[in-house]
Structure formats: C-alpha cells, structure tokens
Chains A and B, each alone.
Chain A
Amino acid sequence: MLMTMATAMSLQATILDSVAVDARLGYMVGGTLPTRIGHEIRGINNFDLSLNFAVSAEASYPLNNKWAIHSGLRYETGGMDVDSRVKNYDIEVVRGGESLSGVFVGNVRIKSTQRRITLPVQAAYNLSNSVTLRGGLFMGWLTHRRFWGWAYDGYLREGSPVGPKIEMGVEPGERGDFEFDTSMRIFQWGLDVGADWQFHPRWGLFAELTYGLSGLFKSDFHSVQTLRPMYGTLGILYRIR
C-alpha cells in the first residue's frame, strides 16, 4: 500500500518534472492561398506574403524516450497582398445590404490582415537528443480580420456575361472596391507540422508550417473563390524547464 502510494507520488512528480516548457518567438510569413487557380486567373502581377511575428508558450509531455505530446498557445499575425489578372472571373461586391455581381475581366487586387490565437495539438518525435519533429492539427481563433481589395482596369458584365458592360478604372471611385471582413471565419483549423533544434540546453531554433483546412470564409460566402490560410514560422525557442 505504502509502496503503491510512494510509486504513484514519484510517478506524478516524474510526469510534472518531465514536461518540457518553452517560450518561442518567431518570424512569420503568412497569407491565404486559393485552393485552385482556375483558368479565369490569367496571371499574377504581384504576390506578397507580408512579414509578421508569432509568440508562444508551448509544452511537451513525453510518452517514452522517442514520443511526446506537444501543445501550447500561440499568438500570430499574418497577411497578404495579391494582384492578379483575371478573365471571366465571377465576383460579387456586397456592402451595407447592396450588392453588385457579375463576370469581371481585368485586374483584381486582394489584401488581407489577420491576427489569431492558435492551439496546436501535435505528436512529437525525438529524432536525436537535439532534434524533434512534430506533426498534428491546430485550432485557431481570429482576434482581428480584414479582407479587402478592388477590381480595377477592366470591365464587369453585370449579372451575367450578356449583362450591361461597366468599365472600372484604376483610381478609387472609378474601380470596384470590396470588403469582406465580417464574412471571414473566426474559427480555423488545419494541419500543423514543425521541427525543433535544441543547440543549447536552453536555446533552440524551430520551424513551423500551418495549412488551414477550413476556408478563410464562411461556407455561405461565394464572392471570391475558396481561400485557405497558410503560415510559415521560423524562430528561436527558450527552454524554461
């Protein structure tokens, strides 16, 4: 009896002792990508994934010498700026209850910024004493979401390809501006893979790649094609214990 209790206590102590906790700071490149490029996208004039950062506190619970469960809380910022040439591109612009839709031929600029809190749940595998590979899923909540842009230097066939032809210029007021902030999903989930390299008892480097399996927009939103969030992070970690 006494033996069992002692074993249990020491086991508990071992469990807590063996949990590794670290703080991370990462340099992040993120954005959203279309799930497919249809024939209607004729070319990319400019494609920019904006520079951002990620901070997190993460913990690993070892199951045995090789395997561990890894989780934590991350705060990340991301964004993108894409300028593409399109033909026969279905667009719908909605604002304040008014909408204008049709088929667009010309250029489309899309910008987005997001900030999110994510919770990863990963299996970690110790490749060696210093290198760990991780893979699993993440759940994310957006705390800030903006998605906007404009259709410009082209024309819209309003309603359908045989509807009125409406030219769009380049300057604000002449072009077709759109804004879809509130149509963005607040909850995201997807794949999350990473690797850690502990080059020092306290310090290490890590790389992380997340790919959203949930679309950027709510399922009833059809103004632009399905876009998925994708973020890459490169950073340093500090082992707290």
Chain B
Amino acid sequence: MTKIQIQVFLEFVLKNINKVVLNEGFYVILRVKWYFHMAKVTRILFKFKTAMVALAALTLVLNSSCFGDEPANCEADIESATLHVTDPEAVFYQMTDSFKLVMSTDTAIVFVVRGNADVTALSPTFILTPGATIIPASGSTHDFSAGPVSYTVTSQDGRWQRRYTVSVVPTSHEVADTTCYDFEFFELETANQHYYTWHNLLPDGSLGNDWATANEGYRLSMGSAGPMDYPTTPLLEAYDGSGVCLMTRDTGPFGRMANKRLAAGNMFLGTFDVRIAMSDHLHATRFGLPFTSRPDSFTGYYTFEPGDFVQDFYGNPIAGRVDSADVYAVFYRNHDADGNEVVLYGDNVLSSSQIVAVADLGYVEPTTQWKPWNVKFEYREAIDERLLANRGYSLAIVFSSSAAGGSFVGAIGSRLCVDKVRLICTHEE
C-alpha cells in the first residue's frame, strides 16, 4: 500500500464516518421535524374539519332563513276537561270524576254524575293544545239533559280541526245480580276500519265501551294487516253466538327492529292508551272500570291452543316450554289514601296493594272443546258498602293468549277464545 493509497483510504473512511455521523444527526433532526410537522398537519386537518363544518353551516344559512319563526301548532286537542259545580259532593260520586284527561284517540268525553244531579246548566272548561281555539267556548253553559253537546277545536295554524262530544250522564247506583258479557256487539273501528272494537250491552239496552284491546298498538307495527289478522278478532261461531278470539301475533319488521317481536291477543275491561304503546307499553293497558256490585264469582267458556313454540325476547325458541294464557278478574279500590285516582297496569294488575279480591283461573288447560270455568273471588279485605255505592271500586277482567306477552315472550299462534262471561254478584240485604 503506497502512501497515496493510505491517504485515499483514510480520506474515504473519514468522509464516510462523517457521513454516518451527519446522517444520524440528520435523522434526529428529521424526526424532530416530523413530529413537529405531524402536529402541524393534525392541527391543519382539525382546522380543515372545523372549516368544513362552518362551510356546511354557511350553506345551510344561505339555503334558508335559518331557524325562522317557530311554526304555529297544528294540533287541535282537548287535553283535559273539567266540570266545575258549586256543590261537587251532590253531583259527583268521586271528586276526581269532575276532571277528565282526554286521550288523543278519544272524541267522546263522558262525565258520570249522581242519578239525581241537575245537568240542565253546566259549564265544562277545557285545556287545549296551546294556541288552539274551541267553539262553543270553554266555560260556556249548556243543557246536557238532552244528550251530548258538540265542540269543535281548531288548531293554532287554522288548518286542522277536531270534533268532540261532551256528555254528562246521571248514573244510578246499579245493583245487578249478574253482569253478562257475550261479545255479540263488535264493529270495525270508525276512524280507519283497520280492526274490530267491542261494545257491551248495558242494562238499559244501550251499548257501552267497557272492553278494550291493544289492537290500536298492533296497527302501529303492522299497518298492512287486515281486520282478521289482528291479535283480537271476533269469533262468529263461538260457544253461544259470537265470542272473541285472542291470538298471539308476529309484529313484523318493526317489531323485530324494536325487539318487540310478538303481540299477545288481549281483551280487558279498561282503556288502552296508545300514546305510550311504544315508549311504555306496560302502562298502555289501563285495567279496570268502576263497578258497583260485589263480585262473587267469575264464569265463562274458553278454548286454548298454545302455539308451536315459545320464543324469548330475542325471538329464539325456548325448548320444552309450552305457552300459557291468562284468564282473571281483579277487584280493587280505585282511589288511594290521598284521594288520587288509581288504575292498574300491566306491571301491577296482580300485585297492587289496592287489590281487594282476585278471581284467577290460574293454569289455563289447553283444550279445543269449549270448557267452562267458574272461579270464586278471593277477598283480601271486607267491602266498604258506602265506597261501593260511590263507585270507589273498579273491576278489571283480563284475557291474554300469552301470559308473558307483556315481556314479548310467548308462542306466535297461541289462541285463546272466550265466550259467555258472567260476573255473579251478591249484595247485602
């Protein structure tokens, strides 16, 4: 190796060491720059996103008179009705009878008053949808002895109207030995004719609306269903004339989406509040109506065929389980200790402390032949005759084709048919 060669080699080594050292330093600088750069990029990107949202907002503003005046209300409801009188105790059986919360599906408002009350000059007042107007005016005086008085409510925007009737019905303290429910009177609901509703025959020969079903709730999920595809349908050839047929039904695509895959067929004395059918279904069934006799036993005829398989909340079959039906009647105090009105709901109809007596068929044995039942009311406390005479007790009769239907557990196709229901009553001599 010559001197020159060594020099070249050393120069080469030095150069490269230098390079390595420089590269390392450059790498560090690059990394620092990179971090700095990324932080900047992130900031830029978030600024970009903010700018885009601002641009989107600007587009919205340019496209509209953004958030203009609040639109006028388009609803035209009587939300509640009150009947003020100078001597309420002489007119009403219960003080709470002077006030009615009106469901959105109701068009007939009925005040029950004592049989001897004067109804020729009464002035009901109304709470309406804000901004709505009513004709005749709230608080105007009318003669209710000739029958219902019609009212028309117009929405704030003037585009919608609803018609209501208000009646004040003097009702005597009825004492019947037997109350009969034969399910002979039914019709398609008057608004849209989607499903059947039932009427009961009152002692004076007129028709009442004591029976309720959850058919209106089923309509929300299965608007395409025909009247005979609903959970509660008439049965033309039953034990004696017509009866009622309750069948657990599939609630279709909406039901699956909401994890409410089935609807048990049900029928009960009370009212169905469709307002909360989606948000709070157990409270949509308002069980019970005032009843002024002491029920002694609960009889009738049924057939029951459980569906093929019981499914759980998620629609999965539960092996080995057979569906069961509900047939029971509950007698309860309809005001609490503070004087508030009480109705029973899906979650307390058999457990409320207001309950006075229960007649529960219990196990509903499957049968395809009409089978009679006769269940005695089991009393938990003595009846207060004065309270009974003042409509202080309510009676709920409940039929359901799937006992656990309230939890959306049951067998689709379970079928409970009922006919010739009797409440045999006793009264003190």
A interface residues, Cβ below 8 angstroms from B: 27, 29, 31, 33-43, 47-49, 51, 87-88, 93, 95-100, 103, 155, 157-158, 160-169, 172-177, 230, 232, 234
Contacts of A41 in B (CB 8 A): 67
Beta-carbon nearest neighbor of B45 in chain A: A27
Beta-carbon nearest neighbor of A51 in chain B: B49
Contacts of A100 in B (CB 8 A): 220-221, 223, 254
Task: Give Cα A88–Cα B105 distance, bound, in whole angstroms.
Answer: 19
User: A27-B48, A164-B105 given. 15 additional CB < 8 A pairs?
Assistant: A33-B60, A34-B63, A51-B45, A87-B70, A96-B252, A97-B224, A97-B253, A157-B104, A162-B76, A162-B162, A166-B275, A169-B278, A173-B260, A232-B51, A232-B52
Contacts of A103 in B (CB 8 A): 74
Task: Give Cα A198–Cα B222 distance, bound, in whole angstroms.
Answer: 60
Task: Give Cα A157–Cα B66 distance, bound, in whole angstroms.
Answer: 25
Q: Mark B157-168, 1 if CB is under 8 A from A, else 0.
A: 001111000000
Query: Can you list 21 pairs linking A and B with CB atoms under 8 Å apart?
Result: A29-B48, A33-B60, A34-B60, A37-B67, A39-B70, A42-B67, A42-B70, A47-B56, A49-B52, A51-B49, A97-B224, A98-B223, A161-B76, A162-B161, A162-B162, A167-B280, A168-B279, A172-B259, A173-B259, A177-B257, A232-B55
B interface residues, Cβ below 8 angstroms from A: 44-45, 48-49, 51-53, 55-57, 59-60, 63-64, 66-71, 73-77, 104-105, 155, 159-162, 216, 220-224, 252-254, 257-260, 274-280
The answer on a CB contact under 8 Å between B223 and A31 is: no
Contacts of A43 in B (CB 8 A): 67
CB < 8 Å neighbour of A161 from B57, B68, B69, B155: B155
Task: Give Cα A175–Cα B70 distance, bound, in whole angstroms.
Answer: 24
Contacts of B45 in A (CB 8 A): 27, 51, 234
Contacts of A35 in B (CB 8 A): 63
Number of CB contacts from chain A to chain B under 8 A: 135
The answer on a CB contact under 8 Å between A37 and B60 is: yes
Known contacts being A96-B252, A158-B220, A232-B48, is A176 close to B278, with CB within 8 Å? yes
Task: Give Cα A174–Cα B66 distance, bound, in whole angstroms.
Answer: 31
CB < 8 Å neighbour of B71 from A47, A51, A87, A169: A87
Known contacts being A35-B63, A167-B275, A176-B278, is A234 close to B48, with CB within 8 Å? yes
Contacts of A40 in B (CB 8 A): 71
Contacts of B74 in A (CB 8 A): 88, 103, 161
Contacts of A155 in B (CB 8 A): 275
Contacts of B57 in A (CB 8 A): 47
The answer on a CB contact under 8 Å between A162 and B254 is: no
Task: Give Cα A158–Cα B176 distance, bound, in whole angstroms.
Answer: 41
Task: Give Cα A216–Cα B209 distance, bound, in whole angstroms.
Answer: 48
Beta-carbon nearest neighbor of B76 in chain A: A162
CB < 8 Å neighbour of A37 from B66, B155, B221, B276: B66
Task: Give Cα A51–Cα B274 distance, bound, in whole angstroms.
Answer: 42
The answer on a CB contact under 8 Å between B56 and A33 is: yes
Contacts of A51 in B (CB 8 A): 45, 49
Beta-carbon nearest neighbor of B129 in chain A: A161
CB distance from A123 to the nearest CB of B (A): 23
The answer on a CB contact under 8 Å between A169 and B254 is: no
Known contacts being A47-B57, A96-B253, is A36 close to B63, with CB within 8 Å? yes
CB < 8 Å neighbour of B253 from A47, A87, A98, A169: A98
Task: Give Cα A184–Cα B53 distance, bound, in whole angstroms.
Answer: 23
Task: Give Cα A35–Cα B277 distance, bound, in whole angstroms.
Answer: 35
Known contacts being A34-B60, A234-B48, is A164 close to B275, with CB within 8 Å? yes
Contacts of A174 in B (CB 8 A): 258, 278-280
CB distance from B302 to the nearest CB of A (A): 31
CB distance from B184 to the nearest CB of A (A): 27
Task: Give Cα A103–Cα B69 distance, bound, in whole angstroms.
Answer: 18
* Nearest 8 CB-CB pairings of A with B: A96-B253, A165-B104, A169-B279, A161-B74, A29-B52, A37-B64, A95-B253, A36-B64
Task: Give Cα A109–Cα B100 distance, bound, in whole angstroms.
Answer: 35
CB distance from A98 to the nearest CB of B (A): 5
The answer on a CB contact under 8 Å between A88 and B160 is: no
Contacts of B104 in A (CB 8 A): 157, 163-165
CB distance from A63 to the nearest CB of B (A): 31
CB distance from A48 to the nearest CB of B (A): 8
CB distance from A39 to the nearest CB of B (A): 5
The answer on a CB contact under 8 Å between B258 and A173 is: yes
The answer on a CB contact under 8 Å between B59 and A230 is: yes
